[in-house]
Amino acid sequence: MKKTVWYISKYFAPKTETAPGGRGWFLMKGLVDLGFNPIVITSDSNALIDPVYLESKVKQEEIEGVRLVWLKTIKYKIAKSPQRILSWFHFEWRLFCLDKNTLDKPDAIVVSSLSLLTVLNGLVLKRKFRCRLIFEVRDIWPLTITEEGGFSKYNPFVMFLSLVEKLGYKKSDAIVGTMPNLKSHIEQVCSTKSPVYCIPMGVSEDQITDVHSLDESYIKKYLSSSKMKVVHAGTVGITNALEVFFLSAESLVDNSDIEFILVGDGPLKAEYQKRFGHLGNLIFAPKVNKHQVQSLLSYCDIVYFSVFQSKVWEYGQSLNKVVDYLLSGKTVVASYYGYPSMINEANCGFFVPAGDVDSLTNKLVELSKLNKNERDMLGANGREWLLENRNYKKLSQDFALILFPEINYD
């Protein structure tokens, strides 16, 4: 008889006609391929997926062997809002009241943050069904909101979340994080006998094969230069720490070998255009759809991302952006602070100190003096490492071993 896994995540992105699916989807589809019976319990209040319309409190459907249970919850438009927190509590109430008799009994339950509050329901369900409970940490809360959201660690809600976090670490049978150094954080928070694993972001088959070309007019307007092109692709917002990118472009405005390209839209784009739009070596390009990202990156030489200095990064990173960058086979440069991961493991690029304009500028000048083949060979290391170590078939097998250590998957 197939073993059943309940994967409970308020924010879950399944595969649809217009979207390839997120990490959780690929892990659950991988479990289907391994012979398991995954059931996903999620909410309809997720701004990062196509709208889900529920006429009743609960809707069930099946996609490629993955059973989805949608719970109708309070919607919100602004991430930093009381409505978001209300939506968390509403999801937990809907989950608590859900008629579990309509679902196959679980052999293992995964509670995935966010919402961190799902840990509480997970502990109740673990006792009810006498099964293994896996706590999946996708963002370290409440650390993220105290480090980057401006909340005091003495805020009553933050203190409540800290208690929930500790309960999850202490009472789970295993802990899974997307960040490679999560164990270090847990040891600072509390003592636990639960083993800690890393199942990071990965690359799907669709990302490799389903690549759409860019329009010729887009290529001609934004990507036709023969200079070394340094690109940042993604949302132009406060969390992307892009000030260093623009200041480096400003310092290299007289360098005839390097061009900076910002691809994407976001709340800070207009402000950056007003401040730096006069630079002759800087191009603001509109966003492309997800299926065109690899085509876009193929025309570039250096792919760039940056972060602010934050304790969150001390536990490593596993960003979708970095997966896209490594898949492109281009050299990666990151203004980064914290535990090194991916780029150093793949030997495909360089970290420079976060916030340090001179270090970034010097590294880009150094790379511009290499010939294109030398840069491409460095970038190729990243693609090779990614396909070998971060494909979802492998990650699903690793995940299954955490769920059921007694099963041999050879």
Both 244 and 129 in a single domain?
no
Query: How confident is the prediction for the chain on average, in pLDDT?
Result: 93
Structural domain includes residue 410? no
* Structure-block tokens of residue 249: 């472009």
pLDDT band at 319 (very low <50, low <70, confident <90, very high): confident
Higher pLDDT, 1 or 72: 72
Task: Read off the pLDDT of residues 60-104 as tens digits, 9 standing for 90 and up.
Answer: 999 999 999 999 999 887 777 788 889 999 999 999 999 999 999
pLDDT score, position 76: 84
Structural domain includes residue 185? yes
CATH of the domain at 175: 3.40.50.2000
Does the structure show a pLDDT above 80 at 148? no
Both 26 and 118 in a single domain?
yes
Phi-psi sector, 391: left (phi>0), alpha (psi -120 to 50), beta = beta
pLDDT band at 373 (very low <50, low <70, confident <90, very high): very high
Does the structure show a pLDDT above 90 at 277? yes
What is the extent of the structural domain holding 112? 4-202+391-403
Structural domain includes residue 57? yes
pLDDT score, position 410: 59
Both 237 and 304 in a single domain?
yes
Both 152 and 227 in a single domain?
no
Does the structure show a pLDDT above 80 at 231? yes
Both 26 and 106 in a single domain?
yes
Both 233 and 247 in a single domain?
yes
Structural domain includes residue 408? no
Question: Any residues with CB less than 8 A from the CB of 202 and at least 6 apart, and which?
Answer: 23, 26, 323, 390, 391, 392, 394, 395
Number of structural domains found in the chain: 2
Give how far the C-alpha of residue 32 lies from the chain's centroid of Cα atoms, to the nearest Å.
22
* Structure-block tokens of residue 299: 């025309």
Task: Read off the pLDDT of residues 323-336 as tens digits, 9 standing for 90 and up.
Answer: 999 999 999 999 99
pLDDT score, position 409: 59
Q: DSSP states of 156-191 as a string? A: HHHHHHHHHHHHHHHH-SEEEESSTTHHHHHHHH--
Both 85 and 58 in a single domain?
yes
pTM of the model: 0.91
Both 343 and 194 in a single domain?
no
